[in-house]
Chains A and B, each alone.
Chain A
């Protein structure tokens, strides 16, 4: 099949989805190519979900400027798109005089970058804010916060889809060429032509850049393992606890998620393969030990799972980590926006990155506004988060809200159905899980996964062998037992 677009975005991570959503405010035919069966499967959702304040980056860098802007607008964005966001603040604890000096330097640097509401707190105030924290003093960043990184990504994507963007899932780019003034992109089964192409491929940015004819970027993959702890500990940590950072490494931290779980991590290790997400015992042991020094209030028994994520970092010939690079090289690759080294704080900065990309494009072409653009997205109403009166109203309106499918997180049939019929057409167990929280609780799907698999069959019309756990090639079943 052939498709023709004005703009084709490669990569359905948070940045690709933000670009799609921001561009859908213009009269353009827009497509997104994503190799996975859903958005946000790689770097975008494999992190701690911290909304950064923008103080831990070099003055004058894109990282600093776009992060500060992203931080400022996050509240508005979360309201418009209905994804979980809390401006809970963040604390960087220190013990020594050198660390105190470094934190003062971080404040100066942050203020020079435009970050605000940064201040030092003494031991007493630190323990008023977080009684369980260790440290002699701390830097408090009141503007920092947390989001659910998957829901932020899928909210951007679903809003883009509602505004007319086509999402081509399970579509991995195999070749890019320039023919008759257009870009021609081939995947396994399809050919796409487009006037504009955007490389927001995240961990694969170097590979796509080469395909566009822009060579020479050196990308390293910094992998971090994380441990997820039981939510019963979540209330003890009202905001993320960090140690004193450098401008290129944040260190191991203890973070609370929007769901109230605690995360320990990440480790940092350079890897060849950007998609090797296996966790290693030695890293987990190291994390337990290190995190115990920052926040000694958990045991190994509190672990409910482990995961890892990869940050693609652009480095120079000396291995020094570089800023974000967002460029159009009119001679080598006309009408191609190349995004290189989008790592942390890419989640915080995603919409400002998208707007920066569009500014570069608009310097070269006039885009007509899309009068029908609707920036708001309907959320899946969460039964568990509603008051009793709201719950009664929901059930009256839709009896499927009266059928609890996932008992750990109290997710109802109505919510599962909404997730299956999401605007992107994502069709996996993980697509349902990340959108609704089902299968994420204590029993990890022991009670509900059978019914969710069955609903995917009946509601999405999938054959038993077509039900994937997460990625393509991850089938749940080998067929029927009988007939």
Chain B
């Protein structure tokens, strides 16, 4: 029975904010034969452990917690009877869109007309930073500490140092403090914070937790549980400055040092990745280099807010609807380039025949800037910003009627 291949219009891999939003929109667009494959026992993805508020302001114009935000989508998915296969891991997808799913009742095989990659991202770990020293208990990524506290009711820390000013790290600084741990400081190797300004204010400043920029942990101490960390100021090329060593006694080191789109499955299908985003290279319809395989959300590029993940996934769902209904779609062969101030732009290729929303991040903090889409020296769309921070995504709408066909599209900071 399970040996048989089941046909689907769309298989959605991942039931987090991207996958759920895409599924709902597809169903609203009249695409019936869809399935969400979710590896956890419940849908919701990372939102399940994000019990802080700050979700939904853009998407629902309401302040919600992560689980409440997820619940909005899950309830609607239930009402529309969208099938969600939980506790099921997709282990392989092929370029011709055949997926293998491992579940407790056996291996399942699906053949889909379109696959939506919505696997989200993972955290960078200590290993990737190669911090020297011992390997004791008590080194956790911020997301792991968050899961232990919010989902598993386990207290992993008492006396804490945090490395990295990513948003989850700052949110955990507040969460740990509220649960009785003592957070000594947050250290950031960059000369600017890597998380949102609102989190610095609400999670660090309000709790008197200092943020030290241009500092990093250069050694972990303790053979059993962490006994402390050595922190150093960094100079050119992030090299630790000799003589600035300071020892912080602590039992826990929390890491919030970056998120990496989770693309092992995509690579297996031959999807090409962008070295800057570490997500797939996509066209204006969120289609990857493999026809019929689409990507949105944190698997595509790491977002600052979950709301934008959902909005992006809804936009993607409209494109997938066009694809599976056989609509005639323009060729996207024109590359979008960017100047040295910009880290990346999504999408990477466009048709120059449709309106497009460009999503980008700057490389370093900039003030009083104009972000512009330029074609052959002509500015066809622009946005003025008092501040542009690497922590925040910038969105730039380029309307169809302004686009000049046949001319290369570049995004620049003016």
Contacts and interface: CB of A to CB of B under 8 A. Distances in A.
B136 A474 contact: yes
A207 interface: no
A481 B155 contact: yes
B40 to A, nearest CB: 10
Interface string A213-247: 00000000000000110000000000000000000
B125 A443 contact: yes
B122 A447 contact: yes
Interface stretch (B53-61, B73-81, B221-229): B221-229
Interface in B138-170: 138, 141, 143-144, 147-149, 151-158
Contacts of A443: 122-123, 125
Most chain A Cβ neighbours within 10 Å, of B2, B137, B221? B137
A196 B218 CA distance: 48
B127 interface: yes
B91 interface: yes
Interface in B86-138: 87, 89, 91, 100, 102-107, 122-123, 125-128, 130, 132-138
A383 B296 CA distance: 30
A279 B103 CA distance: 41
- Chain A to chain B: the 7 pairs with minimum beta-carbon distance, closest first: A469-B137, A305-B127, A473-B224, A474-B137, A402-B104, A474-B224, A444-B125
Contacts, number: 141
Given A279-B134, A280-B132, 14 more contacts: A281-B219, A306-B130, A395-B105, A403-B103, A442-B122, A443-B122, A450-B148, A454-B152, A464-B154, A470-B137, A474-B136, A479-B155, A480-B153, A481-B153
B322 interface: no
A450 B123 CA distance: 15
A134 to B, nearest CB: 24
Interface string A430-470: 00000000000011111101100110000000001000111
A402 B155 contact: no
B188 to A, nearest CB: 20
7 contacts: A227-B130, A278-B221, A402-B107, A403-B87, A446-B143, A477-B155, A479-B155
A446 B127 contact: no
B137 A277 contact: no
Given A399-B104, A478-B157, A304 B87 contact: no
Which of A276, A444, A479, A480 has most B Cβ within 10 Å? A444
A331 interface: no
Interface string B240-281: 000000000000000000000000100000000000000000
Interface string B208-239: 00000000001111011100000000000000
B39 interface: yes
A476 interface: yes
Interface residues of B, number: 49
Contacts of B100: 388
Contacts of A362: none
B130 A478 contact: no
Contact of B148 (A277, A407, A477): A477
A402 B127 contact: no
A475 B155 CA distance: 11
A301 to B, nearest CB: 8
B179 interface: yes
A396 B106 contact: yes
A395 B152 contact: no
A410 B128 CA distance: 21
B264 A442 contact: yes
A464 B153 CA distance: 10
B224 A395 contact: no
B91 A410 contact: yes
A394 to B, nearest CB: 10
A303 B128 contact: yes
B124 to A, nearest CB: 9
A391 interface: yes
B136 A402 contact: no
A284 interface: yes
B155 A480 contact: yes
A468 B137 contact: yes
A84 to B, nearest CB: 21
A388 to B, nearest CB: 7
A372 interface: no
Given A402-B103, A469-B136, A481-B155, A444 B224 contact: no
A111 interface: no
A481 B179 contact: yes
Nearest to B267: A232
A440 B225 CA distance: 19
Nearest to A304: B127
Contacts of B125: 443-444, 446
A279 B148 CA distance: 28
A443 B122 CA distance: 7
Given A284-B130, A442-B122, A481-B154, A475 B137 contact: yes
Contacts of B225: 469, 473-475
A480 B179 CA distance: 10
